[in-house]
Structure 1
């Protein structure tokens, strides 16, 4: 929510000013104390009394948001005036203005605090009355209606059969069967179909269904189960019993009987912890089936993932749509093409298919009308779904802890169907300032935890994982993204101007986060209006867009986040001005600057970049040109991530008397640094470096640039490219003292030309190394024989373009944890080590364009493991077409790729 995000951000601003070695302004400490106390109080209030979805709550939180934004404006405007004016003095007229303006804001916030105290007092009185007045309601108004078999289901037959086998299986002990998945994916429908099967009804002595709401009441749940399980019980006979007595009665009712309890829509493990004592286990085959939106809840319940619901594919989506529209009747052929398009647009979510199916089933069945539906599907889903689809999905949002709400809403800033890089998402969350710090964790770790929580709640899906298993990218379903956009607009969290939303342009000058996607730009009147509106956005803090026109930066003087994916038009067109610098560096409050340039543009960094006193992330993408950083970059202590295609980083300036020494304690990422000199003075300035990518194209006679890598004690990922140079003498100077820190988890080498024995001695002993990528010419020699006990933690190994390699040995003694092996372009490799197959953790072997004998050895490994019933190992081989053999001993090939290459799957 916007109010919570704004409060946390002001705390960040205060902290950054106070901890900065050379702060741009000075705040009155009494005012800081008052402001901090009020903000902490309001944050506690929002965390304890979450948003209930009412308009009154929106309005009140809007007031908190607005007064907090006023505090931001006062402080950040003063910072801009001071830095642009060339003064950091804390005295004078500007200082008095800051004191007076901030004092007024504190008064306004204190007034809201008093209102909050009144609200909390009333809330406590109401909560005291609730148990006696409202804890029990008549059955007709509170009970879940009995499930029926009239639930349409497509594509779930396999999982339905598996669940039924689990329910009626021979295992006698009581089992918990969780079914997890995002809201609207069909968990309840599946459970109801199982529940209503005659074989299930006959198999169990007692069947009971109860819906667990997020605001659960244990007494009501017990009452509901009893009323469903005992046909002779009435609400009147049970309404006066306490929770303890109801639990005891339920336990006695279930004792000695084989029962099935379905607990639908469970939101927390605490519910189970309070109820589990009332479900006896007599080893008679009793079962408890639970549906939940939280994947991690399954693990808490049974120690594994349980049943996970997946989105439907296009064919199953179309079949489900047909069932909702036509029932058992066949569909008219003229509607098939457009109908499949409609089904595909629903992106596999059964709930959205149900909503659209209900609409189409009541409408005229003509291609013209269905085409209209297809063109306006998103709008129609939102309109028709107000009471059902979006209402159900919005429950997931309303139930989110308040600290996760800004993170979830922020997913709406990304374009529809985008494969969202987690690294970018995390950096943006940090820069936006709505992550509340957690002790002993950096903000990036907090962000990753929050992302995992959202994934566990099935609000975000994992799209790709990296070689180490970490999440590389994620996606959000279109309907959930629509929910983000709707809530964000309601809470004034961010603005996404759209062509058919002219009202947004009228208020764009008051928006604090503006997102413009490339699809919005055009050459019509709307685009001109949008461009004009952006130039007037004087309070905007975040601008994420494709720049298809010149936007004067000085109109966005308070900007904190600037992401430009297309800077062709942003920079002046004359050849002598193909740089950015002066204008960009006037945006002194920037925390996040990420720009993408086209060919022939040279992003130039000047000494004035140190004016960006609070810059955290600097990302410049474009062609392969070299960018030279000024020495002033070492005077930017807030830097966390610096990424360029090629960046020359000068040595830190010498320490001068009476000038502060800036240690970049927050700096975690440097990429890609050209001819990086990792001297002692550099190591001292970057003590918490985690990710480092370096490229060496020149060499000198001292090895100081690489022998200090081992002193970067927090380094987790190192990528070293040493080029491909024939002058081995110069090459050896650089690599002679190459050492690595024990903290490394990922190492990529290229052009290092290390002997295999030397590589093993330098790398094999790293205790935490999980990913090793040996790219072209990283190692030399025909044979590699790792010692026993090396590579003890390695999970992923890639070897490519190491042309000399012919033989190597590998087994569980030197690669005990290996999970993935990738071999590419190894022309002389005779075979894959036979001992590889004996590694118990190994899951995949991939050969890409190696010789035929290596392919045959991979096939033998696959056959041997199959004989040993190791069905988890997957072997994949890809060969150039001209290398295919046709001898009897050759492998049988399955063609699955293009004309040039063949893919072999074993």
Structure 2
């Protein structure tokens, strides 16, 4: 409630206050507290309307007017009037009076009703609760309240309040109680539903083991109805995307490329991200963190909603999670999920019972296993968090000719088979090879459906065949390519590329035609690694579409690259590593880096002095300096209004000391990593500094 009084009382005009958040997070509870606090005290008229999915606008107007005019309005007489007549009667009755109206769980209703609420200039308020996070922009208002999940401390406080009436938890139950609260993952509804817990350690241990099923049990209709409501009213095209989230283990981070490979989404530019945004707006999926430039990197799902996914998926036979669902009817399943810890027998039985599977998602690592499933469209058998993952034979992989997505760790293989172009539907090819280099056949240039190719710095691409003019118009990501020569013919075949990752490692003075990169007018992200001395920096040219640049160079002159990148109008993220400042100085000027949000300098030698003004970086939010020889941080840095954080890692002791002493009470966060031998700096710290001491 902190700060809510200001929104309720101080603005004189009529104000619409959206309260948004996921199902069960407390939107209605908060609205009820506000409503009770202001009813008949600060407002002349109060009305609360719960709006169903199939609402009738006239009936809503009648209900609001009946609540507003408790003495004069008769429901029967109102029902005989036309919709606009009821609306006009409501408008006249509200005119000149201060009112508080709550529309519970609908934005569409507001859009039809808003014309009947006058702006009396007396701080009247309309609260609208919704699961849609974009509600505020649709209401065209300056104030909105998005309710977040509770932190650990608040969750425990709420738990003690509902279970013990605000008293402290008995010591013998506190340890298991905190584990239960942690399992609730900050969702107030799941905590409140534990109110009737029997206060015994045996009971609490049982609840801890099966918290989700206890919270979502069919006996608790109230909780289940709230969670299921969000799914029931999803548009048809979003339902499979939502259900798909239940295929993965708790807290897994899911990439939306999988939705495209499953056929839930068409391969339309931007459609995947639009769908992610829509599910986020509906508070059905979570974004654990944004990239430094604000992009969505991963999405997750709350555990309770994951349970909902699994229940609905089981009813619809949407997928089969081995060891978690009944095997009955699994032969008709199109999707097979093998979680970690599954026994070998369970895996073999599942594969044999699902001959028509279209998807194979595996986090299993016990033995090497390639299911004989010729109809597979999706094969994801690699997880970056599992280091002892099994390997697959790429030659056998490419026998699965219906594949749209392939994500695997490859067995020792230095050559992709020439039959690769038989995978005519393949859109995503992500391979983590054991070999440092995998040679691709020339046939890879005959795969126009490819959208994402990533080999983790280990792919050597041949020149395109002279007898083929196939344009890779769908190719948006090409990452992990070694010694890639960007001549006119190759660039002309990948003109729609958005993300490009190149590594140059041959010890020769070849520029690899890097001046042609400028022709890639849709390129947004470029990662360039040069592990040998090369002349490419002088000849490198960059397109104005570039938003992210990660450049690792072998003692290349920083002057050559900074002159090129400082004028890029859209550049938001710049990472430079192993460059060399010949003069020891870097002076920025007005008009450079107009959009830059993240600047990272690592092991850029001989940078002693940095001259700048705060206006030189008008959008800078994050500055990372790693192993930099700077004598001092420019004091003007503290005047950049957008700056959120500065990170210093293994920089000169004198630099860290001056930063602490001179910046004083900075408004941004400072993260410092120092070696153990510089531990005396800890005594100089103030609360704005976060320090990690690294072992010597």
TM-score, length of structure 1 as denominator length: 0.72
* Counterpart position of 2:109: 271
* Counterpart position of 2:472: 664
* Counterpart position of 1:851: 652
* 1:252-299 residue CA offsets vs partner (Å, 9 max, x unmatched): 221111111112112x3x422221121112211211122111111023
Does residue 235 of structure 1 match 2:36? no
Does residue 676 of structure 1 match 2:484? yes
2:640 pairs with one of 820, 834, 839 = 839
1:564 pairs with one of 356, 381, 384 = 381
What is the CA distance between 1:483 and its match in structure 2?
Answer: 1.0
Equivalent pair of 2:671/2:689 in contact (CA under 8 Å)? no
* Counterpart position of 2:323: 498
* Counterpart position of 1:652: 463
* 1:402-445 residue CA offsets vs partner (Å, 9 max, x unmatched): 22222111111221122x15xxx2211111111146xxx51xx1
**Separation in structure 1 between the aligned mates of residue 673 and residue 79 of structure 2, nearest angstrom:** 69
Residue aligned with 2:256, SS: helix
Q: Superposed, which structure 2 residues align to 1:816-895 within 5 Å?
A: 816-826=618-628, 828-855=629-656, 858-859=659-660, 862-863=663-664, 871=667, 873-883=668-678, 892=686
* 1:34-57 residue CA offsets vs partner (Å, 9 max, x unmatched): xxxxxxxxxxxxxxxxxxxxxxxx
Does residue 365 of structure 1 match 2:365? no
2:402 pairs with one of 589, 592, 595 = 589
* Counterpart position of 1:220: 59
* Counterpart position of 2:230: 396
Q: Measured at CA, do residues 781 and 697 of structure 1 come closer, stay the same or move farther in structure 2, by a change above 3 Å?
A: farther
**Separation in structure 2 between the aligned mates of residue 774 and residue 403 of structure 1, nearest angstrom:** 42
Q: Measured at CA, do residues 206 and 893 of structure 1 come closer, stay the same or move farther in structure 2, by a change above 3 Å?
A: closer
Higher helix share: 1
* Counterpart position of 1:459: 284
**Unpaired runs of 5+ in structure 1?**
1-159, 572-578, 726-730
1:489 pairs with one of 314, 332, 335 = 314
Does residue 162 of structure 1 match 2:32? no
* Counterpart position of 2:442: 631
Equivalent pair of 2:510/2:535 in contact (CA under 8 Å)? yes
Equivalent pair of 1:464/1:472 in contact (CA under 8 Å)? yes
Q: Measured at CA, do residues 809 and 895 of structure 1 come closer, stay the same or move farther in structure 2, by a change above 3 Å?
A: closer
1:376 pairs with one of 188, 191, 210 = 210
What is the CA distance between 1:843 and its match in structure 2?
Answer: 2.9
Q: Pairwise CA RMSD of aligned residues? A: 2.7
Equivalent pair of 2:218/2:224 in contact (CA under 8 Å)? no
* Counterpart position of 2:148: 310
**Separation in structure 2 between the aligned mates of residue 881 and residue 754 of structure 1, nearest angstrom:** 32
**Separation in structure 1 between the aligned mates of residue 687 and residue 36 of structure 2, nearest angstrom:** 47
**Unpaired runs of 5+ in structure 2?**
none
Q: Measured at CA, do residues 781 and 474 of structure 1 come closer, stay the same or move farther in structure 2, by a change above 3 Å?
A: farther
Equivalent pair of 1:554/1:586 in contact (CA under 8 Å)? no
**Separation in structure 2 between the aligned mates of residue 478 and residue 886 of structure 1, nearest angstrom:** 43
Q: Measured at CA, do residues 513 and 164 of structure 1 come closer, stay the same or move farther in structure 2, by a change above 3 Å?
A: same
Equivalent pair of 1:696/1:721 in contact (CA under 8 Å)? yes
* Counterpart position of 1:110: none
Does residue 509 of structure 1 match 2:331? yes
1:718 pairs with one of 516, 526, 533 = 526
Q: Measured at CA, do residues 700 and 882 of structure 1 come closer, stay the same or move farther in structure 2, by a change above 3 Å?
A: same
1:412 pairs with one of 246, 249, 253 = 246
Q: Superposed, which structure 2 residues align to 1:146-545 within 5 Å?
A: 160-169=1-10, 171-197=11-37, 200-232=39-71, 233-266=73-106, 268=107, 270-304=108-142, 306-327=144-165, 331-358=169-196, 360=197, 364-384=198-218, 387-418=221-252, 420-421=253-254, 425-436=255-266, 441-442=268-269, 445-499=270-324, 501=325, 503-504=326-327, 506-519=328-341, 521-522=342-343, 527-545=344-362
Aligned length in residues? 692
Equivalent pair of 1:799/1:823 in contact (CA under 8 Å)? yes
The 10-residue stretch of structure 1 (377-386 or 337-346) with the greater mean CA deviation from structure 2:
377-386
**Separation in structure 1 between the aligned mates of residue 367 and residue 675 of structure 2, nearest angstrom:** 49
What is the CA distance between 1:894 and its match in structure 2?
Answer: 7.7
Equivalent pair of 2:648/2:672 in contact (CA under 8 Å)? yes
1:811 pairs with one of 594, 613, 617 = 613
2:537 pairs with one of 735, 752, 772 = 735
**Separation in structure 1 between the aligned mates of residue 477 and residue 605 of structure 2, nearest angstrom:** 32
**Separation in structure 2 between the aligned mates of residue 431 and residue 780 of structure 1, nearest angstrom:** 49
* 1:742-792 residue CA offsets vs partner (Å, 9 max, x unmatched): 221111111243333322222122222111101233655411123432222
**Separation in structure 1 between the aligned mates of residue 693 and residue 568 of structure 2, nearest angstrom:** 42
Equivalent pair of 1:411/1:476 in contact (CA under 8 Å)? yes
Equivalent pair of 2:322/2:350 in contact (CA under 8 Å)? no
Residue aligned with 1:707, SS: helix
What is the CA distance between 1:812 and its match in structure 2?
Answer: 4.5
Residue aligned with 1:464, SS: coil
Equivalent pair of 1:624/1:646 in contact (CA under 8 Å)? no
**Separation in structure 2 between the aligned mates of residue 417 and residue 388 of structure 1, nearest angstrom:** 25
Equivalent pair of 1:355/1:385 in contact (CA under 8 Å)? no
1:788 pairs with one of 587, 590, 594 = 590
Q: Measured at CA, do residues 242 and 495 of structure 1 come closer, stay the same or move farther in structure 2, by a change above 3 Å?
A: same
- RCO comparison, higher one (Cα < 8 Å, 6+): 1
What is the CA distance between 1:840 and its match in structure 2?
Answer: 3.5
Equivalent pair of 1:878/1:901 in contact (CA under 8 Å)? no
What is the CA distance between 1:456 and its match in structure 2?
Answer: 0.9
